[in-house]
Structure 1
Amino acid sequence: MSTPDDSPALFGLDNLPYGLFSTADSPGHRRVGVRYGDSVLDAGAAAAALGSAHAELLARPSLNPLMAEGRAVWRAVRAELRGWLADGSADPYLRPLSEASLHLPFEVADYVDFYASEHHATNLGRLFRPDGAALLPNWKHLPVGYHGRSGTVVASGTPVVRPQGQRKAPSESAPTFGPTRRLDIETELGFVVGAGRERDGSGVALGDFSEHVFGVTLLNDWSARDIQGWEGQPLGPHLAKSFLTSVSPWITPLEALDAARVAPPARDEALLPYLDDSAPGIEPGGLDLRITVRLNGHVIAEPPFSAMYWTGAQMLAHMTVNGASLRTGDLYGSGTVSGPDRLTQSGCLQELTWGGAEPVVLADGKRTFLEDGDEVTLSAWAPGPSGTRLALGAVTGRVTPSPS
């Protein structure tokens, strides 16, 4: 689905996100592409023809080899791409985007999902614990997260088959098995790890975030809320989220978002040193991304990523502080992005409809949770240099019926 945030004008020289594409004349040949306006640059072909020292990296059928090379190579390749596109030497290697089939742009290693929005966590706390504290005692001391399933991360456009599982409503005496009745979305930002590191007993320091994270991508962590509510007693998400996670086909390089860096919201709890980003020399870890959520073409929410309590750097630091390794292709999600206005800035239907009690009103009917045939699109833009805007590639999924 085309959106205003997907305008070709927002994919200029200051953006240049990476993806993987093929064409009808060579459907089995997947190659690294770079989006430029309404075209995709065959990066490998351009690099080979123009004598780049990085031609072999760009000729691979995945972004992982390039991502594994580290920040110095990322910057050098990006500088080459900008130069070739600016002077027109790359023009012979541009293909119309309309002729390209887009694929999952990288091989996903591990997948971790966080819970980094204070507004989202507070809303769910109030919904599920009306007589208790909205936030649990640990929430402002560490980025809460869980380990997901990398094998079900898919590219935008992949059908969302309604999952089956056990569910038990409070009014039911026993669990039943069947398709989820409460299929939901989670509007997220995904961070894609490029340079890995071995297990060594220490974690990634906040200041090393940009040395390891290659770029970001919009992410929708589809969720079956009724399955989640029954299975998550007492452990965290399992089958309710492992059936599908959709990502954009485009990875926006972290370097492209320099102008979008902002300070995170003020914190009212002192942080332990490995998470304390107020120390001198730590660059701002927040990102000013404006996200739009569309359901069947209708805007239902516009959550601001700048409102996120925990930053991508803090999530990475916490994820590795126990000595865990990082691998090229590791993906970690921010968790649902929500802002202070629940009715217009919530990144999931669980919040927007207050657990199904307050349906969202669309031009074609009401929704509490997703119905078969519904299509959800997440899009976003960020401030660029000199007052420009940069788009993040959109991610879309359409719900199809359960197989039984």
Structure 2
Amino acid sequence: MAPLKSFVKYDGQSQFPLENLPWGIFSTAKDPSPRAGLALGDSIIDLKQLSSHPTILDSDESPLSAAQAQHLFTQPTLNAYIALERSTQSSFRSFVQRLFSEGDDRLATDDEWKAKILVDAKEATLHLPISVGDYTDFCASKEHTDNTGRILFGEGNVLEDNWFSLPIGYHGRSSSIVVSGTDVKRPKGISVPPNSNQPVYGPCKVLDYELELAFVVGGPSTKLGETVDLKDASMHVFGAVLMNDWSARDIQKWEMKPLGPFLGKNFATSISPWIVEIEALEPFKTAAPEQVPRPLPHLDEAGKGTNYDIKLFAEIRATSPTKDGAAEAEEEEGWTLTTNTNAKYLYWTMSQMLTHHTSGGCNINAGDLLASGTISAPYDLPDPTACLLEKTRGGRKPFTLDGEGEVKRTFIEDGDEVRIRGLCSRPELGYLVGFGEVKGKVVA
């Protein structure tokens, strides 16, 4: 099948072709009200403006009336839209694809409305796309879990039997989820310094990133006490974002005896501003790893579990002061690749995570986030580890940043930036589906 063609021109290597159309919330200097938009090439489709068109949305072809669209797309979050039924969302996605296709003249030949509806992405400020009611972080990567266990507890450590029975997770802090570009303040907490057994309170000294994928819950809310069957789980997922689960390893290490992550994880979690709909990821489905032993029946996909072939990258850049003290370096300069992995390696699938989450009767709502946990790759691949704890073997093996001089790192220093990117590609399709990026700078 040939790639879709749009009258909006964009490069063949664009992350945001007509096949993608990821969702976000943006504003401009001309109109500072946050509102819904779809990324298309180097433009943003302003859905507030589209809903004000006198005829387009009131045709029989549109699944939403102009009044409905105006209500949904002028809100500062996408929650109301993603709470709609999947069938309505799918129909609206197809409607927009047709509307912006080459050969459809409803907008293509109307320069006045094109200028209103198509916003230059460079002129837009991107905002947190959803109001996150609840956030759960899983630990779905076998490679990451096994590797960190050996680093922290010795090479003889193996995964506990229960890890193979369920996708383990913890309830995170939704109030500290921030959008890409937000600075991250180095947290304070209680830790135990090396060669000591006395806890102290102070700034984190072992700050890390964790490369993750997070699924955005969509559709109508479930009821308390209701469970979601494995075969229906994907219908409760609207889309996915990139995530950096910033981690204060020294604080986390002390507080996880005997409970779980708390202050080591709740100071900031960054997500990308664009939500890629699950429908856009369908062509990139791939078989999930074999699960041995097979899980209990309510989580058993009988060897038919699927992941998504999403290439994932993490990079670090040390911000160097120039003579006048300002930050230097162009946007694409100075980055050191530290992680090269793929979402296809996740042991537990998106459907299993959601089904397990609801298996005790926990209700879910549109805008909830279910994160994968750190996604590391098999160890024989280059740069497979998705956090610095793994990459540096707990800080014992520093690495050198690219560029001039011998700048070494074990963990993240003040002034460092971390960038995570995600991309789907299959040569026979002739197009890419990208997530953009999630980026953050650590400040003292």
Please say whether Structure 1 and Structure 2 have the same fold, judged by a TM-score greater than 0.5. yes
Quote the residue 1:357 is aligned against.
396
What letter matches 2:440 in structure 1?
G
Cα deviations by residue, 1:69-105 (Å, 9 ceiling, x for unpaired)? 1201110111121112113645331110000000000
Cα deviations by residue, 1:307-359 (Å, 9 ceiling, x for unpaired)? 11001110000111000000111001100010012761111000000000011
**Among residues 385, 396, 405, which one is paired with 1:346 in the alignment?**
385
**Residue 154 (structure 1) aligned with residue 196 (structure 2):** no
Quote the residue 1:55 is aligned against.
69
User: Is contact 1:107–1:329 with CA below 8 Å preserved after alignment?
Assistant: yes
Structure 2: stretches of 5+ with no match in the other structure: 1-10, 59-64, 108-113, 318-334
**Among residues 31, 41, 45, which one is paired with 2:45 in the alignment?**
41
Residues 170, 106 of structure 1: alpha-carbon distance in 2 compared, 3 angstrom cutoff: same
What letter matches 2:355 in structure 1?
A
Quote the residue 1:286 is aligned against.
307
Deviation at 1:169, TM superposition (A): 3.1
User: Is contact 2:135–2:172 with CA below 8 Å preserved after alignment?
Assistant: yes
- When structure 1 is superposed on structure 2, of 363-372 and 97-106 the one drifting more is 363-372
**Structure 1 CA distance for aligned equivalents of residues 211 and 360 of structure 2:** 28
**Structure 1 CA distance for aligned equivalents of residues 195 and 105 of structure 2:** 66
User: Is contact 1:143–1:315 with CA below 8 Å preserved after alignment?
Assistant: yes
**Structure 1 CA distance for aligned equivalents of residues 388 and 395 of structure 2:** 8
The CA RMSD over aligned residues, in Å, is 1.8
Aligned pairs for 1:275-314 within 5 A: 275-278=299-302, 284-296=305-317, 297-314=335-352
Quote the residue 2:135 is aligned against.
111
- When structure 1 is superposed on structure 2, of 385-394 and 245-254 the one drifting more is 385-394
**Structure 2 CA distance for aligned equivalents of residues 206 and 166 of structure 1:** 40
**Structure 2 CA distance for aligned equivalents of residues 356 and 185 of structure 1:** 13
What letter matches 2:377 in structure 1?
G
Quote the residue 1:259 is aligned against.
283
Quote the residue 2:418 is aligned against.
376
- When structure 1 is superposed on structure 2, of 33-42 and 50-59 the one drifting more is 50-59
Structure 1: stretches of 5+ with no match in the other structure: 1-5
Residues 41, 368 of structure 1: alpha-carbon distance in 2 compared, 3 angstrom cutoff: same
**Structure 1 CA distance for aligned equivalents of residues 105 and 166 of structure 2:** 48
User: Is contact 2:17–2:432 with CA below 8 Å preserved after alignment?
Assistant: no
User: Is contact 2:17–2:431 with CA below 8 Å preserved after alignment?
Assistant: no
User: Is contact 1:8–1:38 with CA below 8 Å preserved after alignment?
Assistant: no
**Structure 2 CA distance for aligned equivalents of residues 177 and 253 of structure 1:** 43
- Partner SS, residue 383 of structure 2: helix
What letter matches 2:375 in structure 1?
V
Deviation at 1:170, TM superposition (A): 4.7
**Residue 9 (structure 1) aligned with residue 47 (structure 2):** no
**Residue 319 (structure 1) aligned with residue 352 (structure 2):** no
Work out the percentage of aligned pairs sharing the same amino acid: 41
User: Is contact 1:31–1:62 with CA below 8 Å preserved after alignment?
Assistant: yes
**Structure 1 CA distance for aligned equivalents of residues 85 and 194 of structure 2:** 51
Q: TM-score, normalised by structure 2?
A: 0.85
**Structure 2 CA distance for aligned equivalents of residues 153 and 192 of structure 1:** 13
**Structure 2 CA distance for aligned equivalents of residues 60 and 105 of structure 1:** 10
Aligned pairs for 1:26-105 within 5 A: 26-27=31-32, 29-49=33-53, 50-52=56-58, 53=65, 54-56=68-70, 57-86=72-101, 87=104, 89-90=106-107, 91-92=114-115, 93-105=117-129
**Structure 1 CA distance for aligned equivalents of residues 57 and 120 of structure 2:** 24
Deviation at 1:208, TM superposition (A): 1.3
Aligned pairs, number = 392
**Structure 2 CA distance for aligned equivalents of residues 142 and 47 of structure 1:** 44
Residues 213, 88 of structure 1: alpha-carbon distance in 2 compared, 3 angstrom cutoff: farther
Deviation at 1:131, TM superposition (A): 5.7
Quote the residue 2:159 is aligned against.
135
Cα deviations by residue, 1:22-45 (Å, 9 ceiling, x for unpaired)? 001222x11101000011110121
Residues 238, 76 of structure 1: alpha-carbon distance in 2 compared, 3 angstrom cutoff: same
Quote the residue 1:273 is aligned against.
297
**Structure 2 CA distance for aligned equivalents of residues 44 and 179 of structure 1:** 44
- Partner SS, residue 50 of structure 2: helix
What letter matches 2:187 in structure 1?
P
- Partner SS, residue 318 of structure 1: helix
**Structure 2 CA distance for aligned equivalents of residues 71 and 221 of structure 1:** 28
What letter matches 1:212 in structure 2?
H
**Structure 2 CA distance for aligned equivalents of residues 287 and 223 of structure 1:** 25
Quote the residue 2:325 is aligned against.
none
User: Is contact 1:15–1:252 with CA below 8 Å preserved after alignment?
Assistant: yes
**Structure 2 CA distance for aligned equivalents of residues 263 and 199 of structure 1:** 31
- When structure 1 is superposed on structure 2, of 176-185 and 165-174 the one drifting more is 165-174
